[in-house]
Structure formats: structure tokens, C-alpha cells
Chain A
Amino acid sequence: MASINECKDDILHNILGRLPASTFANASCVSKTWYRICSRILSRPMLASALSLNPSLLGAVEEVTEKVLSKPIRPHFAIACISEQFGLTAAHLLLSQRLGSKTPLVTHIGNGVMGMEAVANQLREVKWDYFDYQGPHPREANGFSDVNRGLVLVVGYVPGLKVDAIPLIHPKNDPGMSRVDEFVRHIKTYTFCVSGYHSPAALIIFGDRKSDMNDIMTTMDHGIGKETVMVGDGGGCFLSTSDNFTINFPSDLYELDAVALVFARDRHKSPDVGETRFHVAMAGGLVPFGPRFKVVDVLVKGEVKWTCLSALMQGFDTMLHFEAVIETLLETVSDRCPDLYIGVSHGRRYYSDSGRLINKVAESTSFHQVVGGEGEYIVVEGVGVRHGDTFLFYHRDLETARGTSEVAFEKLRRLKQSEEEEVFGGLIFACASRGQSYFGTPNTDTYPFHANFPNVPFAGIFCKGEIGRSSSSSSSSSSSSVKSYQELLQEEAPPHCSVHASSAVYLALSYLRPP
């Protein structure tokens, strides 16, 4: 009588490799031989993802979890992007239950999703029609609309790395109190405990729409080593579950500003396990135009934070009538009603011991969408603009968007041609102003990744405030004839910008086999 014990290892390898994740976990505990074979099956990192537009939360969660857990995988981290209509708490609890309560999980409400449908296995880019930026905060609201329901789930297994979700909170009664420094310290401490270094390999960041993401990212930009890749969505709403890193805070006293999924290299990594690498490619969409202005007065109003500011044209000292300025500027743009932004250059002030300002270095840019002009004031979204900052106007430009999309495609294509690395997963963070409604063609935002890696799992999110910073060691200046967004920025503005506008950020995860 033959038994499975007589089967050769490669036969067993083939059988066990077909098990769904939960049975696979059980199978690995059956015997020493099985444990060894299961460990070999999971020697490489992997990503699994699925999208569902099922209008029932339960049905959608069922579809995507069944799909992502249909193959052997141990969830090291998970990201779900859901539509506002689903109710954040219910979706988060349900997903956490399915993926294991110890799995670091971020459930996020964004402006839309991208990915492969779980059941139909079809590529989809869907923006929710209804996204009321002014409405009640989604963490409290519970929608009942039947349309615009769906979610995308991505689960990752990254041996050789340790992942956890670290939250940034602030006390409810003191909204002005920022704890970003503490947040950065937490990230570094966790990374140091795991890897012995202070800089993690990558951070995937989700910000709350109420928080000032530009400010948070500026601090993080300075505080976290340049080798760390950062991507994310700075303008949604989320809940998160951590593994080791649980800050005990009563939710009625504290609010979540942001959360970072921290990927730190494990110092106890087995030598048989290769290396997981993170690569960022960017596609822009904004072009600067007109003269530079200098901010002279700033007013902040409203809970969702608008900024009214008055400014002078650099070199002149007459107050401007901004309705007229905007009108004049728009006449120079071919697009009939382009979205207008201002790109504000923030300076960092250095003081001498006696308190005298000795230097001011411009070192970061933040983008704010222009709402309109009111007399001498211009109204923009977001906060963080200060007296003395300078800015340029930017407008959305379809040609730039298409051209830089090709640049991103090209960058990812070079990665595909690499003989030593193999891309096993991707994440896309694209501005909600993009998508089919802007390009006129479907699936343009997924194109740079999906056209290069058609069989590689990925997930995408339409966001408001996409975050992207490549690792300085891996970023190479583009040799393409098409001017990249970064090149444009470098010409016109100071170098550092982590929260973008009207752009798409591509994160490719690749595997480098052990030597």
C-alpha cells in the first residue's frame, strides 16, 4: 500500500503548494518532512491581491479573502482600501478576523480602487462617484447608499523583513499638539530593535484627511534616513491593527492622525532567504507657470482646514487682486478649466545662539489646490503655509501626465529587465483627479505597472495627497527625453516633496535571491 510518505519531496512540494493558506498552515505542522517542505515553498516573498465590487460588505470581504488566501501565504501585513459606504469599523473587524488578529492591517477609505477582480479576474480602475470631502468624518458616518461599494485587499508575505503598523495619535482636546517627533522615534526604535539600524527599508503611510500631512511628512523627511522608501495616501481615513506595537490609548481621548506600516530588515534573517527591495516610480501631472509670489498674510478657517492667504509678486510691493490674477493666469493655459494648485516652498530657519536669523534654506514643497480668489486673498486647501513662504502656480496638464506616465513605465521596464531581481508585487497611489475621467482612456494609471508585469499581483488606491519618496540610493536621474516631474520640480522649486498632487506613485517590490 503506497502512502504519501513514499512520495518524493517534489511531488509533496507540488501538492502542498496548491493548498489554501489556512490548510497550508495546518499542513506545515503535520510532520518534520512536511514542515521542511512547507518552509521551502515559503522561502520567497509574495503578494496576493484582489478587488471586489460586491455591494455587500460581507460578500466583498468573502470574495477577496478567499482569493488572496487561496494559495500558501502567511500574512505578514495587509492593506485594504474600501469605499466609504461600507463602514470603516465593520470592514476592519471583519478583515482582521479573516486575516488573523495579529496581522498588521490597515483598512483605509480612499477615493477609489484599482486591481484585479477576485471573481472575474479582470483589471479594474474604479473611482467612487460619491466622495464628500466636506461631509461627516467617515469614521463616524455610516453610509447606506447602494452604489460605490467595493474594496481592494492586498496581503504580503516578506521573509527577511519584519512589519508592523505604528500609529500617530494626538489627544482629542488638544488638536494643535503634534506628536510627529514621537512617531518618528517610535518608527526608529522599532526598526532598531528588529534590524540594528535606524532606517527601515520602507514605510507605507496612511494619513487622516483632517491631519496636516504636509507638516507630518516634512518632519518624517528630515527624521528618517534617505535610504528609506516612503509611499502612501495622506488624505483618507483609516483604522489599523498592530502586532507588537500597540499603544494603549482610549479612542475617546485620542485621535489617529496617521499610521505607518514599517518594513524593517530582520537581523535574524536566515541566509537562505534573499532580499526584498522597494522601488518607486512616479508620474506627475502638474506644470508650474507664472511668476513667483511671496506670502504676506495667512488665515486658517474651517474644520477641514482651508487657508486664505494674501501675497505679493516677488519684486513688487502692490497688493494683488487674486480673482483677477487667477483669471489672467488661466488665459495662458490651453486647457479650458484646469485644476489650479500652488506649490509652496517652505524654508527652514536657522538661528544663531543669540536668536538672530542667520540663514533660511528652502527645502520642501507642499501642494495646495486652489479653491478660488476672494479679493486680495486666495483660498487654498490644507494648512501649513506661513508668512514669508514663496509659491508658484501650477496647473494640471494632460500632456505632462501622459509623458511622465511613460517615464514611470520606462523606469519599471528597466527593473523588469534586471536579471538579478524579480518583481513580485506592486502598489499604486494615484491622485483622485486622474483616472479614466481625466485621461479619456481606461486603466491609464495602472498601465506603467500592469503593462510591465501583467501577471504580478498589485493593488491601487485613488487618493487625495499621494505620498512618494524614493530611496536616494536607488533613484537615478531619468535619461529619457521626456522631462520627468522631478526634473521639472528641481528646475522650479526646492528638491524635497513627499506629498504630491495630481500624480501617481508606483511601488514595486522585488526579490533578490541569496548569493
Chain B
Amino acid sequence: MSSSVEAITVLSSDGDEFKITVSAAKLSKPLNWMLEDVCFSDDCDEVPTIEVNSKTLVKVIEYCEKHAPRANSGASDSDAEELKKWDIEFMKMDVKDILFHILMAANYLHMEGLYDLACQTAADLMKGMTVSQIRKIFHIKNDFSSEEQEQLRRQHPGCSFD
């Protein structure tokens, strides 16, 4: 791998160009493979496409750049604390808008840390919600028939439906 390469350019699914540093790209296996392809290939003109939309990719790259120094060199406890706080701030986003895009992107890019963080955020969002509240925030259609609904109420007397 040529040491002169410090960043690579990738395309989002919307066709926008993004720069991502080599160390940040290492957080994701698929990105890392792309990186190796780009560096070893003689024909460097071809820009790889990542099947993630621009809005999401901005956030994913932001996460990677923040976490890359720690992932590559290891960090002290105070850094870890600071990073945790940063993660919480980072995840304060509109649910419908982007959280699930991030989840799917993290899954697709094999980014364990981000995937874990996004899953936990989604779970935390639901905590304490009733059945209809969960349906509402996640736009889920109730596909139970009214008889099935009745049966559920009987089987799960502890559940709060409304």
C-alpha cells in the first residue's frame, strides 16, 4: 500500500463525492477492501460507490473520523469517557429521518461500534412506550385482526396497548 495515499474519494448512492481518510476507512471492512483496491490499482480514476445516501454517509464518515484515532492506537480511559459523551451527542438525531439509515449503513459496512450504538439508541427510544406509541414513532401498521388483537390482550395482561 502506498503511504502517500491519505484519503480516498467515494461516491454516495446519490452520486455526491466524499473524502474519507485511510485510517477512518479502516473501521469498516468493506471500505478497507475498497481502499486496497484503489491503492493497488493503476487506474485510480474510478471512484467507488457506496450504497448509502449522502445525508447518511456524512454522519457515517463523521463517526469514522472521530473514532479512528482511538481504534488505531488505543486510548486512555479519559478518552474513552469523552468518546462516550460524544457518541450520545452524535446520536441525538431525528428518528424517522436518519437513525434507521445509519443502522442499515452500519450493518452494510460491518461497523460494529456504530451498529451497536444505533441499535442501543433505537432500543432506548422505545423504553417505556406502549404498543400504540411504538407503532406511531416507527410508522408501523397494525396488521393484527381485531380477534388476534383481543387474543393478545388476553395472553399478555401486563401489556399496555394504548
Contacts and interface: CB of A to CB of B under 8 A. Distances in A.
B138 A4 contact: yes
A247 interface: no
Given A11-B103, A30-B135, A25 B156 contact: yes
B161 A29 contact: yes
Nearest to B160: A26
Given A2-B101, A29-B159, A30-B131, A18 B141 contact: no
Interface stretch (B7-15, B34-42, B76-84, B120-128): B120-128
B123 A31 contact: no
A4 B140 contact: yes
A3 B96 contact: yes
Interface in A318-371: none
* Contact count band on B: 20 to 34
B127 A5 contact: no
Contacts of A1: 96-97
B3 to A, nearest CB: 37
B72 interface: no
B120 A7 contact: no
Contacts of B138: 3-5
Contact of A27 (B107, B120, B134): B134
Interface string A214-243: 000000000000000000000000000000
Nearest to A102: B157
Nearest to B103: A11
A6 B100 contact: yes
Nearest to A32: B143
A26 B104 contact: no
Contacts of B107: 8, 10-11
A5 B139 contact: yes
Contacts of B97: 1
A14 B116 CA distance: 9
B103 to A, nearest CB: 6
A474 interface: no
Nearest to B123: A18
Contacts of B156: 25, 28-29
Interface string B122-155: 1100111111001100111111100000001000
B59 to A, nearest CB: 13
B38 to A, nearest CB: 28
In this complex, the interface size class of chain A, counting residues with CB under 8 Å from chain B, is 20 to 34
A20 B123 CA distance: 9
A19 interface: yes
A18 B119 contact: yes
Contacts of B128: 22-23
Contacts of B74: none
Contact of A25 (B96, B144, B158): B158
A1 B140 CA distance: 13
A155 to B, nearest CB: 13
A100 interface: yes
Q: Which interface residue of A11, A29, A34 has the most chain B CB atoms within 10 A?
A: A29
Contacts of A19: 123, 126-127
A15 interface: yes
Interface string B67-107: 00000000000000000000000000000110011011001
Contacts of A100: 157-158
A69 to B, nearest CB: 11
Nearest to A103: B158
Contacts of B104: 2, 6-8, 11
B62 to A, nearest CB: 18
Interface in A24-48: 25-32, 34
A396 B17 CA distance: 79
A31 B126 contact: no
A371 B104 CA distance: 70
Interface centre among B96, B120, B158, B160 (most CB of A within 10 A): B158
Contact of B129 (A3, A26, A32): A26
A26 B127 contact: no
5 contacts: A1-B97, A5-B138, A10-B107, A26-B130, A29-B159
Given A3-B100, A8-B104, A30-B134, 4 more contacts: A1-B97, A4-B139, A15-B122, A26-B134
The 6 closest A-B pairs by CB, nearest first: A18-B123, A4-B138, A2-B100, A15-B122, A14-B119, A2-B101
